[in-house]
């Protein structure tokens, strides 16, 4: 089994981190306890949906501009094709 095949399946995110290369600063990207799912398929595709730990529901059915911005900044969505575990 190669590296890409070992990733196939659905994965639950337990934590995240990021590093700012220019400064070396490290820390969580979407809070201390983000939630999310990552899916890797046999045909080399990857999809992810990650929500920040402090995500708030808008008060009204239609979010205000400020609420909409906050909701947008509290989610990370990605889909890509990978080869041997390296994004292309």
* Residues 15-24: tens digit of each pLDDT: 889 999 999 9
Opening angle at CA 31, ends 29 and 37, nearest 5? 75
pLDDT (tens digit, 9 = 90+) per residue, 29-84?
888 899 999 999 988 889 999 999 888 888 889 999 999 999 888 998 999 887 65
Residue 22's pLDDT is 96
Look at the alpha carbons of 29, 58, 70, 78 in this order and tell me if their dihedral is positive or negative.
positive
Taking every pair of Cα atoms in the chain, the longest distance, rounded to a whole number of angstroms, is 50
How many other CB atoms are found less than 10 A from the CB of residue 2? Answer: 8
């Amino acid at each position: 089994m190669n590296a890409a095949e070992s990733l196939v399946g659905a994965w639950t995110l337990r934590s995240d981190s990021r590093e700012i290369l220019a400064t070396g600063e490290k820390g969580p990207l979407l809070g201390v306890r983000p939630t999310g799912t990552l899916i890797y398929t046999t045909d080399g595709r990857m999809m992810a949906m990650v929500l920040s730990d402090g995500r708030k529901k808008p008060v009204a059915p239609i979010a205000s501009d400020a609420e909409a911005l906050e909701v947008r900044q509290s989610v990370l969505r990605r889909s890509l094709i990978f080869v041997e575990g390296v994004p292309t």
